[in-house]
Amino acid sequence: MTSMPATENIIEITYLIATALFILSLKWMSSPSTARRGVRAGEVGMVLAIAGTLLHHGIVDYRWIAIALVLGSILGVPLGMVHMTAVPQRTALSHAFGALCVTLVGTAEFYLRAPDVPRFMMAVLSMEVILGSLTFTGSLMAAGKLQEVLPQRPLTYRGQNLVNLSLLAIAVGVAMYLVLHPGEKQFFPWIVGIPLLFGVLMIIPIGGADMPTVISLLNSYAGLSAAAMGFVLDSKLLIIAGALDGASGFILSVNMSKAMNRSFSNVLFGAFGQEQVSSAGARESRPVKSATAEEAAAILAAANKVVIVPGYGMAVAQAQHKVRELYDALTKRGVDVKFGIHPVAGRMPGHMNVLLAEADIPYDKLLDMGEVNPDFPQTDVALVIGANDVTNPAARSDSSSPIHGMPILDVDKARTVMVIKRSMAAGFAGIDNPLYYLDKTLMLFGDAKSFVGAIVRELTGGNHS
């Protein structure tokens, strides 16, 4: 009898430490220099939260938990090893699993408690299963679009938003009825089934281009449904962790929309990427100037100030370690090298920071858009490596461009611009880039990793592999 309060105290203390670690984890992850510590803190917090939960007296049999742990690990370990560029869809899958879990727990709790479900409890339980179900199918759809197993193109039809919002309204209406009449069990499947359908329909009109923003929004829904589950299960830890997840996911979606100069409603209802109406959409046939690795190396060696602008192509080519060699070779020659990081370069927030940190580029050399833009007019060479949209001057000057108004890195203001990419193909937004036709621009055609490697060999006299 005396052991019970002691175990409960241990559980409470474990949860308290886990909560503190989750909060610290978010704080530390907001800067590249402390991000690793943040990830570790989150991991330890999660292990403590699971350990505390396993100590609960309510658990009568550990066998099913053990089977679930093994199955979860079999799925989770390979998911954790995907290539960096596949992280957005991997994240969407984790949200789908989390949301499925929340929905199943909510459903089980309803059938265990009904008809004696107090109104507040029924309200949060409904919120839990509605958000959980729509996040489950929505996240699966988002993962499918990003992995290109589903068409990336937005599919739209007349009255689509009305149909979708009406469905959601019906689900909320049924939930309100259940709050008043929790004994009417036959209506419960409606508040699971309709949101499952809504999750699919909600993603259909959104283009693959907007999926990362949608994923962080779904992250926020998953967090809110987990917080609601915390009320149902009377778990303060779940309420806090869910609220942190919900708030951070929402802030991230807002920040990403801002960096792409899109409003939230435009991301969700705008069917971006459906058709390109801009004059910039037509590929130009004007000639461009190109250069070899030898010429590029000579120009870089003669420069005083170089700003490297990485983008999605650097990530695909996994060129970050070669970029580090280039940074070393140039700094050794006394060239001042900095990196200009656009907030939505690549395919997920912080993509470039993560890759450059992996290659041990000093954090103080990574400048964000606001810091680096005033430097471009005094920069001798802006070296763009696999970036496209985030350097497109049409965003400033062409009001008909789909990316008009999106803040960009002003590389065109540097004295010379060199762009490493494989062809004249467009980037994510599917539009041409007038930067490539400027007199001061030299195109360096090739794969980012091989081309940067070739420049390094020129600079070091072949001392690098």
Q: At what angle are helices 160-180 and 188-203 packed, to 10 degrees?
A: 160
Spatial separation of the C-alpha atoms in residues 108 and 120, rounded to whole Å: 17
Helix residue ranges, H only, 81-159: 87-113, 119-146
Segment holding 331, helix H or strand E: helix 320-332
Both structure tokens of 25: 């984890």
* Residue range at the interface with ligand NAP (CB under 6 A); choices 89-97, 224-232, 283-291, 305-313: 305-313
Does 340 sit near ligand NAP (CB under 6 A)?
Answer: no
Does 422 sit near ligand NAP (CB under 6 A)?
Answer: yes
Task: Name the catalytic one among 210, 245, 375, 389.
Answer: 389
The least distance separating ligand NAP from the CB of residue 20, rounded to whole angstroms, comes to 29
Shortest-Cβ-distance residue relative to ligand NAP: 427
Owner of token pair 């695909």: 316
241 close to 19: Cβ distance less than 8 angstroms: yes
Nearer to ligand NAP, 107 or 353 (CB): 353
Residue 372's Cβ-count burial label (10 Å; 0-12, 13-18, 19+) is buried
Does 388 sit near ligand NAP (CB under 6 A)?
Answer: yes
The least distance separating ligand NAP from the CB of residue 282, rounded to whole angstroms, comes to 16
* Residue range at the interface with ligand NAP (CB under 6 A); choices 31-39, 170-178, 339-347, 360-368: 339-347
Of residues 255, 276, 447, 460, which one binds ligand NAP by CB under 6 A? Answer: 447
The least distance separating ligand NAP from the CB of residue 433, rounded to whole angstroms, comes to 8
- Residues 185, 187, 191, 194, CA torsion sign: positive
Nearer to ligand NAP, 389 or 458 (CB): 389
Nearer to ligand NAP, 217 or 226 (CB): 217
Segment holding 420, helix H or strand E: strand 416-421
Does 387 sit near ligand NAP (CB under 6 A)?
Answer: yes
Q: Give me the half-sphere count of Cα atoms (radius 13 Å) on the Cβ side of residue 272.
A: 24
389 is catalytic: yes
The least distance separating ligand NAP from the CB of residue 244, rounded to whole angstroms, comes to 21
| Closest by CA position to 407, among listed 370, 353, 352 | 370
Beta strands in 296-360 (DSSP E): 305-310, 336-341
Active site residues: 389
Residues binding ligand NAP (CB under 6 A): 209, 212-213, 256, 260, 311-313, 316-317, 344-349, 351, 386-390, 420-423, 425, 427-429, 447-448
